[in-house]
Amino acid sequence: MADDARGATESATRMTRQICQGTMMPIGGAEDKEGAKVVLSRFVELAGGKDARIAVIPTASEEPDKGAQYEALFHELGAAHVGVLQVERRQDTEDEAVLAPLRDATGIYITGGDQGRLVEVIVGTPVMDCIRERSNSGALVGGTSAGASILGAHMPTPGDGESGTATPRKGIVELVAGFGLVQDILIDQHFSQRGRIGRLLALFAANPGLVALGLDEDTAAVITPDGMLEVVGTNSLTILNGRHVRSDYFDRDDGEVLTVVDSTVHILAAGRRFDLNSHQPVDV
Amino acid sequence: MADDARGATESATRMTRQICQGTMMPIGGAEDKEGAKVVLSRFVELAGGKDARIAVIPTASEEPDKGAQYEALFHELGAAHVGVLQVERRQDTEDEAVLAPLRDATGIYITGGDQGRLVEVIVGTPVMDCIRERSNSGALVGGTSAGASILGAHMPTPGDGESGTATPRKGIVELVAGFGLVQDILIDQHFSQRGRIGRLLALFAANPGLVALGLDEDTAAVITPDGMLEVVGTNSLTILNGRHVRSDYFDRDDGEVLTVVDSTVHILAAGRRFDLNSHQPVDV
């Protein structure tokens, strides 16, 4: 029995090592920056508190002071060292001086903005490689809005149609490759606020192996290396499990209505936990 | 074995008799009135085609010519007899002359508009009783938008919050009693178009016995007395099964975020069928 239990534990560890190598903290956007700052406080705490060395990547944002804004916030929340990466173009990612704040970071924070900018400028570059290395070494990696979606292996991108309020049809949403810090998991944000559940259910039609995390605004998922997820913040996390889905995706043409059956939905409030190994909520 | 099979069939028949006593046809609103008219054509066909005697109930609408509009449409689609009920106030429902078009109707059509008007003017009156009697006698009962939701035993009504794009919190949506032509089933409409899935998932928190039909615009569910449902139209039907749901509803206060786990979601395109006895899609 003891050996069996140990075997099971090792197997679970191996599995979750693939899922998440350091702690991750995707945030659903619009996190509180003026009140109790529950989400950002937790980020600083998990990055090491007063000993945290935080690297901010504001590349997705079009606001030139976004990096400085988070720098001030993280200082205010007690982090001694905060650096901002100046990455505007793809070639910036090969400049060792630019990469410096990442090299010894205990927490990496990717701001919101244009998800496409993160793909164009950072995916596949030394900055992404360095983020992966830091995650492998145990650093916390977090991000908000577009900065949350980019953390997953896959992320949704609107296709032909307006995705928030449309019948699920083939082609209304497609997948783009993200940083891949978590396998088989797709992260969506502003979730209840923008009515995005339909586009994820449509995505399952062609992707029955995925589990999707739908993060509401001012709400985060803290995912530890053992594959356990905890909800933090003021709204909810919706988890969609596509692993039992059947669909007619590959028989349909672009624009045709999809049939997608047997998706499972869990809505979790703050403090709730979900086991990404067993795909089950804990203690509900 | 033959006896067992017969027993099972009789049991299924008894169960589905509770579910639906005549054929029902809830429609998700905005059904096509100018093109192929797939949904309205099917309504006329199921009501008896050229022999159909259709009663239109335009009470929910604020447009004074809504009854005449459907009268012309149903004539155009081949129905010989179409009558419009003039029911504006609750006392109108006790006037036998007003009820006359209902008494021998083979098809009853309830227009869209203000769901609250249907509750205020018709629920609990002789008009509702007559609709139930005609359904028991095998007449088709259909309706669009508000006229679809009213057919079920329960219907959703927005509570304190904006329901389409809000985190599921206690109190954002509540139940109101409808005509009760189908047991345990809740009908929602303009479903993908208005991003309404969140409010139904929130409803399951306090109502784990319900199955919800989320009808898209220009899309209908044809529910026959054997409990079989078929999707008709140009968009999709979302079916949410709350029968395995666990939640913390009764431990939460109004306004608090709900935890609701293990909802199952099926999205079905036109032509697809769903068995309301077994709660399973057929042939997917």
- The CATH class of B23-282 is alpha beta
Alpha-carbon gap: B52 to the closest alpha carbon of chain A (Å): 31
What is the ipTM for the molecules in this complex?
0.81
Q: State yes or no: pLDDT of A16 exceeds 60.
A: no
Q: Catalytic: A94?
A: no
Q: Which two tokens stand for residue A71?
A: 């720098």
Q: Which of A220, A214, A182, A179 is nearest to A195 (CA)?
A: A214
Domain A2-282 has CATH 3.50.50.60: no
**Structure confidence at residue B3 (pLDDT):** 44
* Contact yes or no for A168 and B267 at CB 8 A: yes
**Structure confidence at residue B8 (pLDDT):** 46
Contacts of the segment A63-69: beta carbons below 8 A, 24+ positions apart:
A63/A113, A66/A111, A66/A113, A67/A111, A69/A33
Q: What is the mean pLDDT of residues B106-130?
A: 95
Q: Which two tokens stand for residue A277?
A: 């190994």
Q: What is the mean pLDDT of residues B90-110?
A: 96
What whole-number distance in Å separates Cα of residue B73 and Cα of residue A168? 29
Q: Which two tokens stand for residue A95?
A: 């400049």
Beta carbons within 8 Å of B121's beta carbon, 6+ residues apart: B59, B87, B88, B89, B90, B92, B93
pTM of the model: 0.86
**Structure confidence at residue A223 (pLDDT):** 96
B276, amino acid identity: L
Q: Catalytic: A145?
A: yes
Q: State yes or no: pLDDT of A8 exceeds 70.
A: no
* pLDDT tens-digit map of B266-282: 999 999 999 999 999 99
Q: Is the Cβ–Cβ distance between A207 and A168 less than 8 Å? A: no
**Structure confidence at residue A194 (pLDDT):** 86
* Contact yes or no for A167 and B257 at CB 8 A: no
A223 in the Ramachandran plot: left (φ > 0), alpha (ψ -120 to 50) or beta?
A: beta
* Contact yes or no for A259 and B267 at CB 8 A: yes
* pLDDT tens-digit map of A103-160: 999 999 999 999 999 999 999 999 999 999 999 999 999 999 999 999 998 988 765 4
pLDDT band at A161 (very low <50, low <70, confident <90, very high): very low
Beta carbons within 8 Å of A279's beta carbon, 6+ residues apart: A211, A241, A243
* Contact yes or no for B216 and A167 at CB 8 A: yes
Size of interface A-B (CB pairs under 8 A): 121
Q: Which two tokens stand for residue A211?
A: 């589990």
Q: Name the E strands within B78-135.
A: 81-84, 107-110
The 3-state DSSP class for residue B256 equals coil
* pLDDT tens-digit map of B18-49: 455 799 999 999 999 999 999 999 999 999 99
Beta carbons within 8 Å of B94's beta carbon, 6+ residues apart: B125, B126
DSSP one-letter code for B58 = -
Residues of B in contact with A270 (CB under 8 A): 257
pLDDT band at B165 (very low <50, low <70, confident <90, very high): low
A275 touches chain B (CB under 8 A): no
**Structure confidence at residue B14 (pLDDT):** 40
Q: State yes or no: pLDDT of B50 exceeds 60.
A: yes
Least CB–CB distance from A264: residue in B258, B262, B281: B262
Q: Which whole-number Å values give the CA distances from B190 to B31, B61, B148, in the listed order?
A: 10, 16, 11
A235 touches chain B (CB under 8 A): yes
